[in-house]
Every structure is written in structure tokens, then in C-alpha cells.
Amino acid sequence: MPLFGRADIHTPAKADAKFVGSFLETNCMSCHSGKRKEGDFSMDALKFDHIAGRVAYASILERLRAGDMPPSVKDRPDPAEAAGVVQWIALQLDTPFKGPALPFAVKEKPVDGNRLPHAILFGGPRGPSVPPAPRLWRLSPSAYKKSFSEFKVQGLQQPFGLHQDAGFKDFSSLYAPDEGATNLLLTNAEQIVNALVKPHAIVNIVANPAGKEPLWPSEARIKTATPEERKHLEKGDRVRQGNGVFAPLMHPKVAANREELVRALNKQYLAIVSRTPNAKELESLLDLYKDAAKEGDYSLAGKAILMAPLMTPEAILRFEIGLGAEVRPGVRMLSPRETAFAIGLALSDHRDLELLSVAAKGKLTTREEVAAAVRHILDGNNPKKPKQAKKSNSRVLGFFREYFDYYRAPEVFKDPLKDYLKQLGFKVDPKQLNFNPRRYVSDTDGFIQNILSQDRDVLKQLLTKPALSKSQVFPSISKADAAKAQAEQIGILMQQSWLVAWSAGTDNDIVRRGRWVREKLLGGRVPDLPIDAAAMVPEDPHRTLRERQMVTRAKACWKCHYRMDDLGTPFEHVNHYGFVRTSEPVVDSEATKSATNKKQKIYRGAPLDTTGSILHSGDPKLDGPVKDAPEMLRRLAESERVRQVFIRHAFRFFLGRNETPGDAPTLQEADRAYLESGGSFKALVVSLLSSESFLYRTVPSLAKETK
Amino acid sequence: MNIFPDPLNMVTPGQLDRRSVLKGITLGAGAVVLQPFLNSLEAQAAGEAPPKRVVFLFESNGLYRRHILPRGIESNRRVGPAQVIDRPLADLELPEPIAPLAPFKNRMAILLGMSCKNAMPNHGAAYGALGCYPARDNANGTNAFAHGQTIDHALAQSLTGIVPVVGLGVDASPNTVFKNTVSASARRRPLPMVCQPDVAFQMLFGSVAEGNAGRAFNVRNRLLDWARSDIRRVRSALPAMDREQLDIYLDTFEQMRTRQDRVDAIRDQVRANRPAIDRFNSVRQTDRFEAQCALAASALASRLTNVVVLDGSCGPHAYKTWAELGINVDGHSIGHSLGETQDQSAIPIRRYHAQRVADLANRLAAIREGNGTLLDSTLIVYMSDSAESHHGQGTEWPMILIGNLGGRLRTAGRFLEFPHYNTNGHRTLGQFYLSLLHAVGDRRERFGEPDSGLRDINTTGPLTEILA
């Protein structure tokens, strides 16, 4: 591959506004202005120094630095001129922004996160900080499951789903409760309440004279019953008191009084939304009780009001409105209670009751207090409950699972290993060699936890730390080769879990592996597959996958595939079961022809080629050929850009949204915190969760969005 | 079951803005589901043909070929026929285990030889039985994963009812209320089987019920009204901001109400077909099974649904002991015994299931509709979730069909056996399901995951042998 047009390695030509103007006119305008918006990009915004204009400039800078525009190689500008323009734009972006701090709308799906050019977030002073608008966020399926598992009811149904694409799942803007969900919420509420009131069965003291068991209503309580109720009570029906406050709600013919109802509702609201009902809620529920009782059965009415809090919006939505103090004109902080919920659910799948009690004491009102609280949770500074501390960080591992997507390995359909090996002419004892994607996933979980326990240079370690457990090898490999290959195995991208998760049913998946590197490490983008493209690697058992993959070199394909394929080929050192190999089996036509068994295909080992290249990365120091995966990974691990792209992804996961230009100060702070702590992931999370982007809200009436 | 299951996947459509995305997966769905139903009401009023219906009934622990092979058929599973065996059942005698089906001999088909090995039916294939994909980690695991839509839901897309699929289960434990077992509307969206008949009754017929069930239904409606006012209250307390999540949540309650109005519109029909049986509260396994069959027939007759899954297996490893039938050996132990010892226990259980199938068919045949009966427009598929044996390998998946789906299938009075696994002329379960899809007008090209073990033979297209 020729290395063309990389701007930064050339001495920049002198550039001023006029020069840049004519440069852009010559090289960009014909496709990106007026009605033509190739690649969804228009330069019209450049005319103004508002945030949209800066975003457009940052996009141009990114492309010039990557050196892949215009699409046709022969049309590309003189590298020295391009370098001059890059320098000029960078200077402009570093100039303090004088306009109003307005929100800038970005696309909301996780896959669109990288649309925002890196240069609008990093590279020099950026800002101003523009906290997001107030939001509601539907509970994730796991948070729903966790919060309602406290009731210990078997058979509750999951009402919520998540999108099935790779990458981050739980973004606040993607979900709302749908009709099916509401039905299941109702059904679950019914089951939970049935379980809660189960101890309060009806017993008849006439048929079975009571022992010492406390029953409701007591003799004293009967005195306050109405004459009609007393008439029913004479028949002997009583409710088992148990140790709960729900008993008075369970008698079909005797109404609970206000005090009893309030006590029951307080308990239920506390259990579900961690607060007692407010006056309006209380009155509406008492009305519901009265109304439902008209059906002639107080116990049905009692169950209904106990079900009610399970349906209330707060039980299924996270409220992040910004009900705290105003920190500057038009910007409010989350209230302590909102903050406690937000942090609890950012780090785990449940409400953090300890944090809620801290909030109730009036803490969590400044960013410093929040930072301390987050650090406390992450450090597990609770000698009495070390286990709880570990559990409370469950979403930290969740971030790595969704970032690398290795946990999806078991979902890739493959032929049984023995069938595959038999086809190649191997007979292997399944006890000696088996395919166990679940184990690969747990190996990688362990690998990550090991790195997190050291908490130094976390990203670099994730990419280059030697494997803790040896990966499996293909049966034909010699012991010496196997040992050598295993010694070279570094980082998550060379682990079986990741390699299997990013493989196809019958082959490696060069394209999607490369795409992962492009998007998750280099912060690049790959456009959606054109609808008229039949993306198929031809099946031909006589040729290696790499040879067959050459189909994407066709001009129409390569205009996108140049961003992926060369980043995926270094992982050809394994087969699609993730077993290390030294050659790739292809059908040997000659041997097959002369074989006695006409049905049997004979395979030979084609030499392996694990070379690839990093091109148009946006960081000229990264670009260049690589001989294999370890070389590529080591180079990526040293890159500032890769580190910042990683920070951007952590932001998206923990804040449940894509970053905007107004989040640049938060991202730069997080990057600094990570660097200054020697690459501590903990420091990074503390920084993100105590940032303005996480804790502050821009009051919407005061801000108009620019698009 | 869920009366109003999530009809669509949660996959977020590609190029939509947020509002459309949120709305597309929520509001649109209700409208889409309701419209065909309204159309069908009009059609009914205009005297048009009744809807087609499909029922899947599952038995646990395998449907052994020796229990359903008619007397006089020479057949050996290990060898298999070279050509399709196609014989009229009229000339043949049903074996004792399925003798209760004899009255339906001229309306039924026995199918042998279709495979679905990749569903790993050993101990129960879970979603794989209706989805034709491997739903389990391994053939011994209890975990099952809904990788994709199952055939019942695929059919329901063409046979639209108010409730797309009614799922009723019979679990070993009478305390199980819901269980996710064989049916999924989409990937990761299992349809919970309702395992308690009284809960299913409440969900399906609560609106026309009397007594406690009726009262409970009315109280539930009041609770829904409260929820709406509660959401409005929360909404009005918010500062000026994007309240879409709340709006959509509120809309879901409106939709439930609308749907309930649709049920009310056919109230008389629902009421007329409300099952009258006194076993809804029973903890006895047999009573629960019979009650679920009655509910299934009623749900079809009242036109609440056109697709029912009656899951008598209730999941891999969910073995039952049929003490009420005098069998005190559990299903797993029966599966691990052999020959006569096995049959001493297995045959009475098989007969009991065959009786349930016959009972269901009888119930449907007793309901007049147009010029015929409900059974005329129905297909009952009786099979096992673990295929041909307790340790089913899926190289064949025996089944019995009753009814011909309103003449769309040639399944009246036939015995069909297809060539053995991986020989020319062999057929798959996926092809059978594809035939059902074609029979209801969904002409897709394949259903389920292909079996890599069959890559050398042609297993594409529907079964021309049974399509009318």
C-alpha cells in the first residue's frame, strides 16, 4: 500500500485565512457545500464562528490529518499545503470561544458517537462546558431485574429489552417503556404483591378457634369497625397478622382505616422507590382504595394500592432532572437524591442505599463530595463488607465487556468442533481439545480484573499484557511452535473470547475485526453498508480467507474497506475457533483428485500471512505497515489518540449518551486524571462521575439548541 | 403468556430520528396489530372464510416412533426408506399409545423422518423446537436462549389475532405462574407460558368473567386509570424538558385501554366461548392440563387469538411425575429405562397426551363456524420438545397433525415417512415449518438455521408433499 498524503509529516506551508479559504474551495467545496453534502458533511457552517462552525472545521482537520480526502488519491492536495491548513485550523480551534454556551445536538445512537470529530474535544483548550439537558432514563433490564429481585418472587418477567447491535447497549435516549413492557410490569406487580400478602391468609376462628397467633382485626380494632363490618366479623373470618403492616389490607369485608393504609403505603413506597409517598400521591391512592372497594372486596382494593407504586414512573425511570442548587445562571446540579441514584446505577445494577442515606443527610452537594463518594465505592472502603464493595462495581466490568464485545463469543454459531476437525482429516479426543466459548469469556473477565486490581496503565495493559492463560492451539502444530505462539499472545484482542466473538460461523471475520479497531481504538467511522452491496466473501475451499477477501479491493468496495481490512488481517494467526495455527487449511486439488475415497477432500496447509497496516488513522505516528498483531497492538497502546478515544468510550458508557462539544472540558479533565494517576481506571471513573457533564443540567428554557 | 405481548423486537431502526425510533417501536406496533383484526371482523360480518388457526402441543421426553407407527408399516429408523413412504391411514391401525386419536384417523397425518439435529433436542430443545436453531449451551444444560423468532410467532404475523400467540404451559410445580420455554416473539423476547390456568383465565376472559375474576378485572382497570393519572401528575411536576419517555409510557396505558375496547367489541363472542370448567384452581397436574386445553379451545373460538402453544413439557429438564395416572416414576427415569420397563410407564402417559389432543380436537369440532366447524380451519401439531426420544438426537422429529388448516394442507388421513437423515429426499423440520408459512401466505425462502450436517443434500423449500 502506498502511504499517501499524510499532512503532518510534511513541513507545513504557510497558511492564513485567505489561503485556507482558497484551499477549501479548490479541494472540498464541490462535494460539500450547497445542496451537495457528500458523507453527510457540509462546509456551509464554516461561515460563522459558532459551535457548529467549529465542529465543521474540526472535521476537516481530522480528514486532512488522516489524509484520506478527497476520495480519489490523484485529487488529493499537496501534503505541505494540507499541513499548513491543519496548523491554521488547530490554532483557530484553540482560540477561546466567545459565543454563548449553547448545546449542540449530536446523533444519539452508540454507533454514531465517532461522528463528532476528535479535534473538537481534544488537541488544545476546548469548551465552554455545556452540561446536558434534564433527562429521564428507562431502567436497564438488569437494573429492573436486580431491583425487583429483592422481593424474591419466582417467575417475574423481564419487561425491557435492549438493542442487539454490538457495542454499548444502554443509552438513555434509545428506550421507552412500550406496551408489551407495561403489560409485563402489571403482571409482575401482581405477582410481587401476591407474594407479599401471602402470609396474611384468611383464617376462620369459628371453624378453627384461634390459638395464640395474632390475627387482624384485633378485639380492640373490631370496636372501630362499622356495624356492617362487625356483622361480617361475627362469621369468624380474620387475617393472619404475621409481622407485616399489610394485614389490615387483606380482609375482604373489613376496610382498613387511614392510618393502616398510610403505614402500608409508606412501607411499599420505601421498598420500591426509596421514599414515602407525597401528600398528593397518598390522597390519590386512598381514593383508588375507596373506588376499588366498590367492587365489594376490600382485599382486592388493598392489593391494587400495593401494586400502584410498582407502576409509578419512578419505579422504572431514572430521573436526572437537576433539582439541586443553581451552580451558575441556567445550570443546576442534580439533587443529592438524584445524584445518589445516578451514581448507584452508573456503577451497579441497583440503588445504592448507603449513598441514598448520605444524600438524605444533605451531602453530595458539590463535585468534590461526589468524587469522594465515588472513590469510596470504587475503593471498597468498607472493611465490614468487602464483598459488597466488589459487587457494587459490577458495571465496571460491564464497560469492558461491551467495549470489547468479547462476551458475545458464545453467541456465534459454529459447527461442532469435532465435525470441523473431521472434515479436515483430524481425529481429536474432545477431552484433549474442545471449544468452550464460555470459558474463554471468563478467562478474559479474569484478565481484566487482574489488570484492574493493579490499576496502572490500564488501557496499555488491556492491549499488550501477556495472556494469563494459554490459548488453545490447532492440533497439527508442533510443541515448539505452540509455545512460541502462546508467548506472543498479548492483550484482549489476541484472546480467544474476542477472536471468536468477532468471527463468523465458518471463517474468521477480517472486516469486522478491522472495523472494531477502526472505531474503538482509532475513533474512526465506517459508513453503513450500501443497500445494493452484497457483502459476501466468496466461498472457495481452495483459497485462503485472505485471498478471498481480496474481493473488497474492487473500487466500489475499497472506498470503505480501506478503513477495515488491513486492520483485521493481523489476526489471521488463529482459525475461527480461536485456535492458534501456523498455516491455513485449504483443499489440495491434486491430492483430492488422486484420493481413494472420492467423497473425502484432502487439505494442505497454506502459509500464513499476518501482515497488515494502520492507515489514515488521524495520528500520523501510528500509520504504517505491521508484521503481525503484537506489533500492531504495541503501537496502538502507545498512542495518545487511542487513549483519548478510549476515554470517549468510557464517557459514553457511564453517562449513557454520546459526547457533545460541550463535554470537551469533562473529557479533557478525565484524560488528565487518567494520565496523572499513571493510567488508573478508577481515577478515570471518579473524574467522569464527578464531572459537570454527569452532575450538571442546563435548564432547557434558557438554551436553544444549535444544529 | 402475556395478553398483549411485545409484538416487535427492540432493535432500533437504522436511519430514524429519536422520536420516530421511540414511537416506531411502541405506538406503531399497536396500530399494526389491531388493523388486521378489525379487517377480520369486517370479513366475518361479510360472511367470508373463517381465519386459519394453528395449535402446537408439546409432550416432554420424546415422541417415540414405536408409539406412533401404525401397525403394518415396515420401517426402521436406522435404515430409513429410500423413497418417501406415503400410505393412507384408512388402511392402517393406530398403535395402542395413540389409540385415542382413532376417531380422527381420516383427518390426521403421522409424519416421520424430518430432522432438526442442530436444535439439540436431547432432554428438550427449548426454543429450538419451534425455532430450528440451537437454543441451549449444550445438550445437557438447562439454560436456554431465545436466539430468534419461533414458528408460532412467525405464523401469527399472518394469522393476526388480538393476542398474537397464546402460550399455556403445564409445569411440574403448580406454583409456577410463568415460564419461558419454547416460544419467542423475537430474539431475546421469550413469550412467557402461563402455567396457572386461573391466571390465564383472568388474562383472557377476565373482562367477561363473573364473580372474583370479574371483580379482579374491574379493579385492575381502576388501577390502570390510577396509573394514567399518576403519570400525568409526575409529568406536570417536571420543569420544561423533554418528557417523551413519560408520554410514551402514558400512551401504553391508552393502548391497553384501546385493546380492551376491541375485546369488548366482541364481548358476546368471548362470553359465549368462556370456558366452563371447575379445574382452574386445581393443583393436580392432570386437571391443570385439561383446563389449559379448554382455555386454548376457548381462546380460539372467541377469536382472541389464532395461534396457541400448549407446552406440556415446560422446558428442558422440567420432568414430571404423572402420579395421577398411577405412574410414580419421573419422566427422566422413564427416559433412562428401556423396552418393556419403559413402556409400562411411557404408554399410559402417551395415551394421556393423545387424549388431550383428541379432547382439543373434539372441542374445536363441536363449535360451528360458517358451513363447518372450528376444527376445519385449524391445524394441531402434536410433537415433543425433545424430538424422537428422551435423549433425542433430532435426526428425526416425529409428529402427528390433526386438521388441514382450512384445506391449505394435504394432511388428511396420511402416513408419511421421509428418507433417513442425510440421504437424498430427506426433509427437515425447518422445511415443515416453512410449509406452514407458505400455507398461510408467508412465502419466505427458509425458516430456521441450516443444519451443517446436511450441506451435501438439498433441504431447501417447503414440503411439496403436504402443501395443497
Question: Burial level of A259, CB count in 10 A (0-12/13-18/19+)?
Answer: exposed
**pLDDT band with cut points at 50, 70 and 90 for residue B44:** low
pLDDT at position A366 is 97
Query: CB A187 to CB B178 under 8 A?
Result: yes
Asked if B176 reaches chain A (Cβ–Cβ under 8 Å), the answer is yes
- Provide the residue ranges of all domains of chain B, joining segments of one domain with +: 18-205+279-454
pLDDT band of residue B63 (cuts 50, 70, 90) is: very high
Q: What is the CA radius of gyration of chain A?
A: 31
Shared-domain flag, residues A632 and A501: yes
Query: What value does the mean pLDDT take over residues A171-191?
Result: 86
Chain A interface includes B357 (CB < 8 A): no
Long-range Cβ contacts of A276-285 (<8 Å, 24+ apart): A277/A309, A280/B233, A281/A312, A281/B230, A281/B233, A284/B226, A284/B229, A284/B230, A284/B233, A285/A261, A285/B226
Q: What pLDDT digit, counting tens, does each position of B82-111 carry?
A: 889 999 999 899 999 999 999 999 999 999
Q: What angle do CA A678, A681, A686 make, to 5 degrees?
A: 105
Question: DSSP character for A133?
Answer: P
A554 CB burial (10 A radius; 0-12, 13-18, 19+): exposed
User: What does the pLDDT average to over A464-479?
Assistant: 89
How confident is the model over A45-49, as a mean pLDDT? 80
pLDDT band per the 50, 70, 90 thresholds, residue A706: very low
The helix (H) or strand (E) run that includes residue B181 is strand B178-186
For chain A, percent of residues with pLDDT exceeding 90 = 69
The rounded percent of chain A whose pLDDT value lies above 70 is 95
C-alpha distances (whole Å) from B7 to each of A162, A228, A463, B29, B177 are 15, 48, 42, 7, 22
List residues bridging with B190 in a β-sheet: B184
CA angle A502, A508, A514 (to 5 degrees): 55
Verify whether the Cβ–Cβ distance B5 to A411 is below 8 Å: no
pLDDT at B465: 93
| For residue B147, pLDDT beyond 90 | no
DSSP secondary structure letters along A279-346: HHHHHHHHHHHHHHHTTS-HHHHHHHHHHHHHHSHHHHEEEE---S-EEETTEEEPPHHHHHHHHHHH
Query: In angstroms, rounded to a whole number, what is the distance separating the alpha carbons of residues B321 and B341?
Result: 16
Neighbours of A321 (CB within 10 A): 19
From the list B223, B240, B248, the residue facing A304 with the nearest CB is B223
Name which of B3, B44, B49 is nearest B269 in CA terms: B44
Residue B8: is its pLDDT beyond 80?
no
Mean pLDDT of A413-419: 86
- Nearest by CB: B256 against A162, A183, A303: A183
Query: What contacts A223, CB < 8 A, 6 or more positions away?
Result: none
Q: How far is CA A378 from CA A353, A382, A391, A660, A684, in A?
A: 15, 10, 10, 27, 11
Alpha carbons A287 and A280: distance in angstroms, whole number: 11
Q: State how far residue A541 is from chain B, nearest Cα, in angstroms.
A: 14
Instruction: Determine the distance in angstroms separating the CA of A582 from the nearest CA of chain B, rounded to an integer.
Output: 26
State the pLDDT at residue A179: 66
Residues A580 and A668 in one domain: no
From A620, A637, A654, give the residue that closes a domain: A637
Residue type, A2: P
Handedness of CA A576, A577, A583, A585 (dihedral sign): negative
- Considering the domain architecture, whether residues A555 and A656 belong to the same structural domain is answered as no
Per-residue pLDDT of A247-305, as tens digits, reads 999 999 999 999 999 999 999 999 999 999 999 999 999 999 999 999 999 999 999 99
> What is the rounded CA–CA span in Å between residue B374 and residue B300?
8
Residues A15 and A46 grouped into a single domain:
yes
Same domain, yes or no, for A582 and A663?
no
> Is residue B378 pLDDT above 90, yes or no?
yes
| Distance of residue A81 Cα from the nearest chain B Cα, in angstroms | 37
Question: In a 10 Å sphere around its CB, with 0-12 CB exposed, 13-18 middle and 19+ buried, how is residue B279 labelled?
Answer: middle
ipTM of the complex: 0.89
Q: Could you tell me which of B411, B410, B384 has the C-alpha nearest to residue B398?
A: B384
Which residue of chain B comes nearest to A281, CA vs CA?
A: B230
Domain check: are A329 and A417 in the same one?
A: no
Contacts of A535 (CB under 8 A, 6+ apart): A511, A529
Q: What does the pLDDT read at residue B452?
A: 84
What per-residue confidence (pLDDT) applies to B209?
79
Mean pLDDT confidence for A339-344:
96
Residues 79-108, chain A, touching B (beta carbon < 8 A): 108
Same domain, A381 and A498: no
User: Rounded distance, CA A442 to CA A445, Å?
Assistant: 5
Q: How is A466-513 classified by DSSP, letter by letter?
A: BPSSPPPB-TT--HHHHHHHHHT-BSGGGSHHHHHHTB-SSSB-HHHH
How many Cβ pairs within 8 Å bridge chains A and B? Answer: 171
pLDDT number for residue B285: 92
How many angstroms away from the CA of B454 is the closest CA of chain A?
12
Higher-confidence residue: B438 or B266? B438
State the DSSP H helix or E strand holding residue A138, giving kind and residue range, or none if neither.
Answer: strand A135-138
What would the pLDDT profile of B262-278 be if each residue is shown by its tens digit? Answer: 777 778 888 888 887 66
Q: What is the identity of the amino acid at A74?
A: K
Residue keyed to cell 479535534:
A119
Contact at CB, B212 and A297, closer than 8 angstroms:
yes
How far is the C-alpha of B43 from the C-alpha of B41, rounded, in Å? 5
Measure CA A459 to chain center: 17
Using CA atoms, how far residue A504 sits from A166, A413, A550, A553, in Å, is 14, 8, 17, 20
In the prediction, which pLDDT does A680 show? Answer: 97
Same domain, A166 and A296: yes
Q: What angle do CA B270, B195, B342 make, to 5 degrees?
A: 125
Whether residue B241 and residue A135 make contact (CB cut-off 8 A), yes or no, is yes
A563 in a structural domain: yes
Residue of B nearest to A136 (CA): B245
> For position A707, what pLDDT does the model report?
38
Q: Decide if A191 touches B, using CB distance below 8 A.
A: yes
Give the phi and the psi of residue B173 in degrees, each rounded to 5: -90, 130
CB of B34 within 8 Å of a chain A CB? The answer is no
A271: helix, strand or coil: helix
Q: Flag if A300 and B241 touch (Cβ within 8 Å).
A: no
Residue A107 lies in a domain: no
Residue A112 has pLDDT above 90, yes or no: yes
With CA atoms as reference, the chain A residue closest to B194 would be A155
Task: Looking at the complex, report in whole angstroms how far the Cα of residue A261 sits from the nearest Cα belonging to chain B.
Answer: 16
Our CA-based measurement puts residue B240 at a distance from the nearest CA of chain A, in whole angstroms, of 7
pLDDT averaged over every residue in chain B? 84
In the structure, what pLDDT confidence band is assigned to residue B256 with cuts at 50, 70 and 90? confident
Q: Which residue has the cell 393502616?
A: A260
Q: Is 50 exceeded by the pLDDT of residue B11?
A: no
Residues of chain A positioned with their CB less than 8 A from the CB of B241: 133-135, 321, 700
Mutate to test the interface with B, among A108, A178, A319, A419 (most CBs of B within 10 A): A178
**8 Å CB contact of B25 and A178:** yes
For residues A129 and A64, membership in a common domain is answered with: no
pLDDT at B456: 85
Q: Per the structure, how many domains does chain A have? A: 4
Q: Are B149 and B48 in contact (CB under 8 A)?
A: no
Which among A40, A158, A182 is the top mutation candidate for probing chain B, defined by the most B β-carbons within 10 Å of its own β-carbon?
A182
Nearest CA in chain A to B216: A300
Q: Say what the pLDDT of residue B140 is.
A: 61
Give the closest of B21, B22, B179 to A155, CB-based.
B179
Strand ranges, E, within B378-437:
378-384, 399-402, 414-417
Which chain B residues are within 8 Å of A134, Cβ to Cβ? 238-239, 241-242
Residue A513 in domain? yes
pLDDT at A526: 92
End-of-domain residue from the set A294, A317, A340: A317
Query: Which residues is A606 bridged to in the sheet?
Result: A584
A420 CA: distance to closest CA in chain B (Å): 10
- Residue range B312-337: mean pLDDT, rounded: 89
**What's the rounded mean pLDDT across residues A544-572?**
94
Considering the domain architecture, whether residues A470 and A417 belong to the same structural domain is answered as yes
DSSP conformational letter for A150: T
Q: Please compute the mean of the pLDDT values over residues B64-69 and round it to a whole number.
A: 95
Residues B248 and B18 sit within 8 Å (Cβ to Cβ): no
Cis peptide before A128 (omega within 30 of 0): yes
Tell me the mean pLDDT in the region B137-151. 78
Contact (CB<8Å) A157/B2: yes
Q: CA–CA distance from A553 to each of A547, A564, A610 (Å)?
A: 11, 12, 18
A260 domain residue, yes or no: yes
**Cβ within 8 Å, pair A182-B234:** no
Rg (CA), chain B: 22
Lowest mean pLDDT among A510-519, B219-228, B233-242, B375-384: B233-242
Residue B139 pLDDT: 60
Half-sphere exposure of residue B334, counting CA atoms within 13 Å on the CB side? Answer: 26
Judged by CB atoms closer than 8 Å, whether chains meet at B219 and A304 is answered as: yes
State the Cα–Cα distance between residues A158 and A154, nearest whole angstrom: 12
pLDDT band at A23 (very low <50, low <70, confident <90, very high): very high
Q: What end-to-end distance do the CA atoms of chain B give, in Å? A: 32
Using a CB-CB cut-off of 8 Å, the residues of chain B touching A108 are 18
The model's pLDDT over B339-351, given as tens digits with 9 standing for 90+, comes to 888 999 999 999 9
User: From the CB of residue B241, how many other CB atoms can be counted at a distance below 10 Å?
Assistant: 16
The one-character DSSP state at A521 is I
Tell me, yes or no, whether A220 and A278 share the same domain.
yes
| Contact between A134 and B239 using a beta-carbon 8 Å cutoff | yes
pLDDT, mean over chain A:
90
Which of A281, A304, A410 minimises the CB distance to B222?
Answer: A304
pLDDT at residue A350, rounded to an integer: 85
**A168 and A236 part of one domain:** yes
* Mean pLDDT value across residues A389-414: 84
Q: What is the pLDDT of residues B285-302, one digit of tens each?
A: 999 999 999 999 999 988
- What is the pLDDT averaged over residues B213-227? 90
Which residue of B137, B245, B249 is in closest CB contact with A438? B137
Q: Which residue from A178, A307, A313 is facing B234, i.e. has the nearest CB? A: A313
Instruction: Tell which of A637, A669, A696 closes a domain.
Output: A637
Ranked by mean pLDDT, the top range of A143-157, A684-698, B453-467 is A684-698
Q: A414 to chain B: nearest residue by CA?
A: B452
Per-residue b/e over B135-144, b at no fewer than 16 CB within 10 Å?
Answer: bbbebeeeeb
3-state secondary structure A83-102: HHHHHHHHHHHHCCCCCCCC
Q: Which chain B residue has its CA at the smallest distance from A317's CA?
A: B245
pLDDT for res B277: 66
Task: Give me the pLDDT at residue A616, please.
Answer: 95
Which range among A639-643, B50-54, B245-249, B352-356 shows the weakest confidence by mean pLDDT?
A: B245-249
Q: Which of A424-438, B275-289, B311-325 has the lowest mean pLDDT?
A: B275-289
CATH number belonging to domain B18-205+279-454: 3.40.720
Q: Tell which of B219, B221, B423 to mutate to test the A interface (max A CBs under 10 Å).
A: B219
Structural domain including A477 reads 413-637
- β pairing state of B399-402 and B166-169: unpaired
Helices B197-205 and B285-301 pack at an angle, to 10 degrees, of 20
A700 touches chain B (CB under 8 A): yes
Chain A from 384 to 413: CB within 8 A of any B CB: 410-411, 413
Closest to A460 in 3D by CA, of A644, A671, A638? A638
Confidence band for A208, pLDDT divided at 50, 70 and 90: confident
Q: Torsions phi, psi of A674, nearest 5?
A: -65, -45
Residue A370 confidence (pLDDT) above 80? yes
For residues A357-383, give the mean pLDDT: 89
Distance CA B189, CA A460 (A): 38
- Grid-cell match 399518576, residue found: B230
Asked whether residue A7 carries a pLDDT value surpassing 50, the answer given is no
pLDDT at A704 over 60: no
Taking the CA atoms of A368, A356, A375 and A333 in sequence, report the sign of the dihedral they define. Answer: negative
Q: How high is the pLDDT of residue A269?
A: 96
- Interface check for B239 against chain A (CB to CB < 8 A): the answer is yes
